[in-house]
Amino acid sequence: MHRWNTISKGMIALVGAFTVYTAMGHMGEHEHHEEEKPAYPYLKMRNKPFPWDASDCDLLDRACHAKAAAAKKALE
């Protein structure tokens, strides 16, 4: 019984050390920048317009919605 307690405590320490090592590795990668994705012609294919104001923008594409709002305001 004492043997398994010793092994368990050692493994808990080993897993804790590995967790800290892995977490520090992930924290150090925060400066990773995504590469620009190629503009394939099939990515924005629209068969019919979306039902919201900026019908060419995806639902959660805030940058596109901001550009559409600025263009609409410039036309007024």
Q: What is the pLDDT of residues 4-15, one digit of tens each?
A: 999 999 999 999
Q: How many domains does the chain have?
A: 1
Intervals of the chain under pLDDT 50 = none
**Is residue 38 in a domain?**
no
**Is residue 57 in a domain?**
yes
Distance CA 20, CA 16 (A): 6
**Is residue 35 in a domain?**
no
Distance CA 76, CA 74 (A): 6
**Is residue 65 in a domain?**
yes
* Amino acid 17: pLDDT: 97
Q: 48 with 60: CB under 8 angstroms?
A: no
**Is residue 60 in a domain?**
yes
Query: Average model confidence (pLDDT) for the chain?
Result: 87
Distance CA 68, CA 76 (A): 13
**Is residue 40 in a domain?**
no
Q: 54 with 68: CB under 8 angstroms?
A: yes
Containing structural domain, residue 61: 2-30+51-75
